[in-house]
Amino acid sequence: MKPQEPIPHNYSIRRLNMIFALSSLVLLAVTGLMVGYDYIRGWKWFQLEFMRMQQERISQEIGVAQAEENKQQLADLDAQDRKNEIELARHRDQYLSAQKELDAIEGDHYRADQDYRFVKANLDAQRYITEAAVVQHLPDAPQQQAEFERQTKHLADLQLTLQESTRKRDAAKANVDQWLKKIKDAEDKKKELTASVDLLNKQLGTVDMKPFSTNWILSQPLLDFVNPVIKIDQVVLNDLSIDMNYMSVPRVDRCQTCHRAIDTPGWESKTEAARLSKELQQKLDAYQIPQEKRKETEERIAQLKRIQDAPNDILNPWRTHPKLDLYVGSASVHPLLEYGCTVCHRGQDRATEFGRAGHTPASPRMEHRWAERTALSAGFFPLPRDFEQRHWGYEENEFIETPMYPRHYYEAGCIKCHSGQMGVDRGDDITKAEQTIEIYGCYACHKIANWRFTDLRKPGPDLGGIAEKTTPEWAFRWISEPHNFRATTRMPSFFYQRNMIDPNVVPPQERAHNVKLQDAEIHAIVSFLFDKSTHRPWSPPGAGDAARGKQLVGSVGCMGCHIDTEQVKDEKTGQIRLAKREDFPLERNYGFNLTGVGTKANPAWIYNWVKNPKAYYADAPMPSLRLTDQEAADVTAYLVTMQKPAFMNTPIRPPDAQAVHDLAKGYLINTLSDVEAEAKLRSMTQHDQLVYLGQRSIEKYGCYSCHNIKGFEGLKPIGTELTVEGSKALHLFDFGFMNDEQWKNEDGTTEHVIHTVPSWVYNKLRNPRIYDDRRTKVYNDKLKMPNFHLSPEEARRIAMVVVGLTKEKVAENRMAGRDARTRLIEEGRKRVSQHNCRACHVVDGRGRDSIASTIADANFLPPDLSPEGARAQSPFLFNFLKDPTVMKIRPWVSVRMPTFHFSDEEANTLVTFFAEAGKGQQFETSRGMNPPAQNVAIGKQVFTMMRCTQCHGTTPVNPENPPVPNTADSTSLAPNLTLARMRLRHEWISDWIRRPNEMINGTRMPTNFPRDAATGGFQSPLAMAIDTPPFAQYKATLLPLFNGDEKELKRTMGDAVALTDYLRDYIWSIGITQMRTAAPGETVPAIAMPQPSLPPPTAPALKSTRNQRGAAGNSGGPGR
């Protein structure tokens, strides 16, 4: 064969080998790097650290067990254990000999049994032979007969032997069993003695990471691929998916990878442990914890006490969730396996690194500590050394779509699922936050397409009749700075704000110019509003008594929604200072602060307004308190005395003609050429220019968003829509020059903007103009959001809701309160909130703080409506809501239920809410019931015996106007019971008599059938009393009603349930059956518009021409 020619190569094998060798090395090195990188992933450190902590904890527990005071006990245990061992050994011997004995006896028994069986078989054969012999008259019959008898006798003997043997065997067996049981008991005892130590040791084994321990070996590089000890923990949530643009992927929460103890009690922080143990102790003391759980609770308290006494506090991320009863815990409503973590907290679910998980700092200090690095790790990932310093490796990351909510904003996460509810049960923070938004009316300027914030009224009053109410001078000063007039007002400040006049921010030249422009705009707005205002003639009040008026304002219920002072005593310093909104219950800020109302409004307007607010504008939120003309005059006389003369002394600069011209032109040239605009302006008087500019300024500032202003109907609200603001990416927020900057607020506090969305929103709310700092902007481009002078707490709450409004969607089945019944209830709750019912009533267990702050005696407060659904009949409630004069239940109470002029629909919504929330039937037929005469007769006697008459009237009265009971003291007692049949639900009456204090804590209705402390059953005072001489006459009357059955009578007198049912039947029998129905949906008496014109009050500075009076009537639109 011809030797093959070497195939020519274009490459050198040698070089190739080199390359191959090199690339193999590189590959190996990369693999090694990968393994190494994986081995030192950050999250592993957290697990190792937690294992170390666990190890420490367990060793400590073992240590505690071996502590000095336990030594003795342990020694005892040891001794017992030894004794036990010896006993066990002895038992074993006993057992063995017993077993041996049993074996021998078993043998005997077997033999006896066998003998018996054989003989019995023989006997059967013999019986046959004998019988056959006898029947066939065989000759050997007698012998056979004898043989049979002999064998029978033998069998009987054997049977006796067998029986004896069986008895012996059973005894031996019992003996063996006895020793067996003793052995088992002893072994159990031994186990028990060592169980806790064993358990601890076992636990210790699982967390042991000592070199060359099993765990340690399993965790070595490469070995850890097989069966790692340290591994990622995750919860997969298929139906709480994440929207990845056009695709939904399941949520995979890996938070537990580092937050190891999140669902394990016992790793709380010291402060949490203190709070929890206090809470549990209180519950324990109040017997709110069931008997079988008490021991468990006591152990938990002891554990929490140990945490508080420990030298070191447990730090995040190893802490237990502070609200295990609500979240994460398996028995909570949001168990970890069903809800995970990121549904509420947000954050990047799959991330296992601190920075990438979306952790968000709450303060600059926190941010800086988190982000700090030791020199070694700079630029790479954090090293254990960093972690120990709690430098977690935070980096600002604008591209994390769902950063976590920082501390103080946690409850923002509730909104996602609870947006269909007015309040979140046990989510006090978010409930209050949403209420804050409602009361400030944020939704008016910023559309929030969310059930909670839609279908609400405009927060400000209608301005269509402003000239009827006040003067341009007042209005000018008011718009300039509402806070100068009232410290607690919710009207925000639009003008002379930080970005316009603050000397630290705006150069002096520009400042002077801005002031002129701002002056001009305010003059313009005032001119426009007064120019367009109606001028209805309101009848003036008659002579009023201010003292009587003051008394009325303090007693009929005004103080539920209004505040009448601006001076409060500071709780900390004890000094009198200017009031803040937060000094009062939220509900009391609902109406305006009454101080200065005499300076603001004229007497005729006040008089007509307090008489019937809806006459001024139909959408007025204030209800009618049905003041008589004289009462209204008295109230007016009082309110007129509330003056703030100093406010009217601040000078008003006249509008600068050039400024008005420039601003107006600025708008005109949007549609006209410069020349046309100039010509147009020349053709206008200054007043016309002002009115034109006013209209444009109202558009610019969005006044119409909160106030009804004629000509602006249907305009879109001025502010940015906030429906999904919480999902807006960080880079879309304009921080201006304020990133990581401190700034000083007008109230003297220093704030610090950090580069997170919550921080941006919070600082924006604290002062809406700060992001203009150091920026050069033309006048009309400057930020316009007005300043509400929010306190840090208010700003935080509002910001919390804003960041909670996200586009993240949750499957319908995970949304809270979406069933039809709950929706009905929530609709009612919305009405309750809109009409501020909680100012005067307790609804759903909350409210009444407002009115209670002005009425000292709890017995004269409006009722607690918590049990209203179970209590009131729906037809009554409907009529009463529509027109509260249909029945006066407690005529002596001076607070009046106002007339809200509810529509049928609204009244129905409320009635449905109460019935459903009280789990009552919406409609029931009890009113027509007629209790049997016998029950009524018995009930009447019980009624007398229980002395109910001492407080309750039983003679029919006019339900609309019952007489006030004539008692010597000013207090009055209890409702007239003839009204009960029209008002109360049949079943509720007896239930109420049995347990009034359980239904309404603190009620004046005494508990007449106290519960037995041991059994919880009701006790009756009549059980004993019926046999005493003073009750002889009652007994005599009652006996025939029980057919003379004294035993039955006595039994009944001790039966609280039966007695209360008789009482109910009696009360039912005396009830009236007719009641005036509510006045049909009252139409508001509109005041006729006269044609003759009234000169509007004008200020010198606002010299205006006579204006045409606009269209007559009520400019308040339907609004809803």
| Residues in region 34-63 near another protein by CB under 8 A | 35-36, 39-40, 45, 48-49, 52
CB of 485 to another protein, least distance (A): 34
Site for another protein in 378-407 (CB under 8 A): 383-385, 388-390, 407
Which is closer to another protein, CB of 388 or CB of 904? 388
Member of 18, 25, 75, 1111 binding another protein (CB under 8 A): 25
Binding to another protein by CB under 8 A, coded x per residue (else -) over 135-154, reads: --------------------
Site for another protein in 927-956 (CB under 8 A): 945-947, 950-951
Q: Which residues contact 919 (CB under 8 A, 6 or more apart)?
A: 869, 870
**Cα dihedral 844/846/850/852 (nearest 10):** 90
Member of 107, 537, 1002, 1119 binding another protein (CB under 8 A): 1002
CB of 272 to another protein, least distance (A): 7
Let me know the angle formed at the C-alpha of 1058 by 1054 and 1061, rounded to the nearest 5 degrees.
140
Member of 221, 250, 537, 1090 binding another protein (CB under 8 A): 221
CB of 1024 to another protein, least distance (A): 8
Which is closer to another protein, CB of 408 or CB of 550? 408
Cβ–Cβ < 8 Å for 175, 102:
yes
Residue 318 phi/psi, 5° resolution?
-100, 10
Distance CA 1053, CA 1047 (A): 10
CB of 770 to another protein, least distance (A): 23
Size of the site for another protein (CB under 8 A): 74
Cβ–Cβ < 8 Å for 37, 381:
no
Pick the stretch among 460-468, 811-819, 832-840, 1017-1025 that binds another protein (CB under 8 A). Answer: 1017-1025
As beta bridge partners, residue 872 has: 984
Q: Are strands 846-847 and 327-328 parallel, antiparallel or unpaired?
A: unpaired
CB of 936 to another protein, least distance (A): 20
Site for another protein in 265-294 (CB under 8 A): 269-272, 274-275, 277-278, 281, 285-286
Looking at residue 237, the DSSP 8-state letter turns out to be: E
Which is closer to another protein, CB of 705 or CB of 866? 866
Site for another protein in 224-243 (CB under 8 A): none
Member of 71, 153, 426, 1004 binding another protein (CB under 8 A): 1004
Pick the stretch among 28-36, 72-80, 666-674, 836-844 that binds another protein (CB under 8 A). Answer: 28-36
CB of 87 to another protein, least distance (A): 36
Member of 420, 717, 736, 1021 binding another protein (CB under 8 A): 1021
Evaluate the CA torsion angle 429, 435, 439, 443 in order and state its sign: positive
Binding to another protein by CB under 8 A, coded x per residue (else -) over 302-331, reads: ------x---xx-xx---------------
CB of 432 to another protein, least distance (A): 16
Site for another protein in 588-627 (CB under 8 A): none
Strand runs (DSSP E) across 624-778, as ranges?
741-744, 750-753
Cβ–Cβ < 8 Å for 534, 463:
no
Binding to another protein by CB under 8 A, coded x per residue (else -) over 434-463, reads: ------------------------------
Cβ–Cβ < 8 Å for 368, 377:
no
The first and second tokens of residue 516, run together, are: 């002129």
Site for another protein in 102-121 (CB under 8 A): none
The first and second tokens of residue 287, run together, are: 């017997």
CB of 388 to another protein, least distance (A): 5
Total count of residues recorded for the chain: 1120
CB of 32 to another protein, least distance (A): 6
Pick the stretch among 154-162, 197-205, 679-687, 999-1007 that binds another protein (CB under 8 A). Answer: 999-1007
CB of 984 to another protein, least distance (A): 19
Buried-exposed string 393-414: b where 16+ CB fall within 10 A, e elsewhere: bbebeeebebbbbbebbbbbbb
Q: Which candidate, 717, 534, 561, 553, places its Cα nearest to that of 617?
A: 534
Place of tokens 């969730």: 321
Per CB under 8 A, 891 contacts another protein: no
Q: Which candidate, 1102, 1104, 1101, 1096, places its Cα nearest to that of 533?
A: 1096
Per CB under 8 A, 1033 contacts another protein: no
Element (H, E) at 298: helix 291-309
Pick the stretch among 33-41, 116-124, 492-500, 751-759 that binds another protein (CB under 8 A). Answer: 33-41
Q: Which candidate, 714, 615, 716, places its Cα nearest to that of 1115?
A: 615
Round to the nearest angstrom and report the end-to-end CA distance of the chain.
Answer: 106
Pick the stretch among 113-121, 563-571, 748-756, 1016-1024 that binds another protein (CB under 8 A). Answer: 1016-1024
Binding to another protein by CB under 8 A, coded x per residue (else -) over 849-888, reads: ----------x-----------------------------
Site for another protein in 152-211 (CB under 8 A): 209, 211
Q: How far is CA 149 from the centre of its chain?
A: 95
Question: Which parts of 1015-1072 fold into alpha helices (H)?
Answer: 1022-1025, 1032-1041, 1046-1053, 1056-1069
Pick the stretch among 248-256, 836-844, 1003-1011, 1081-1089 that binds another protein (CB under 8 A). Answer: 1003-1011
Which is closer to another protein, CB of 834 or CB of 1019? 1019
Pick the stretch among 13-21, 333-341, 912-920, 969-977 that binds another protein (CB under 8 A). Answer: 969-977
Place of tokens 């946690």: 410
Distance CA 188, CA 396 (A): 60
Place of tokens 């008089």: 607
Per CB under 8 A, 1025 contacts another protein: yes
Q: Are strands 741-744 and 750-753 parallel, antiparallel or unpaired?
A: antiparallel
Q: Which candidate, 417, 413, 448, 411, places its Cα nearest to that of 430?
A: 411
Provide the 10 A C-beta neighbour count for residue 70: 13
CB of 962 to another protein, least distance (A): 18
Place of tokens 């303090």: 554
Cβ–Cβ < 8 Å for 140, 133:
yes
Which is closer to another protein, CB of 43 or CB of 538? 43
Pick the stretch among 100-108, 365-373, 397-405, 590-598 that binds another protein (CB under 8 A). Answer: 365-373
Member of 580, 1007, 1101, 1117 binding another protein (CB under 8 A): 1007
The first and second tokens of residue 164, run together, are: 């004896």
CB of 46 to another protein, least distance (A): 11
The first and second tokens of residue 975, run together, are: 């409702």
Which is closer to another protein, CB of 48 or CB of 648? 48
Distance CA 440, CA 435 (A): 9
Pick the stretch among 361-369, 753-761, 1051-1059, 1104-1112 that binds another protein (CB under 8 A). Answer: 361-369
Member of 551, 791, 1003, 1037 binding another protein (CB under 8 A): 1003
Pick the stretch among 92-100, 364-372, 734-742, 984-992 that binds another protein (CB under 8 A). Answer: 364-372
For every residue of 912-976, DSSP letters joined together read HHHHHHTT--SS--GGG----HHHHHHHHHHHHHTTGGGT---S---TTSPPPP--SSS------
Pick the stretch among 341-349, 479-487, 916-924, 1006-1014 that binds another protein (CB under 8 A). Answer: 1006-1014
Let me know the angle formed at the C-alpha of 518 by 516 and 521, rounded to the nearest 5 degrees.
110
CB of 323 to another protein, least distance (A): 12
Which is closer to another protein, CB of 357 or CB of 706? 357
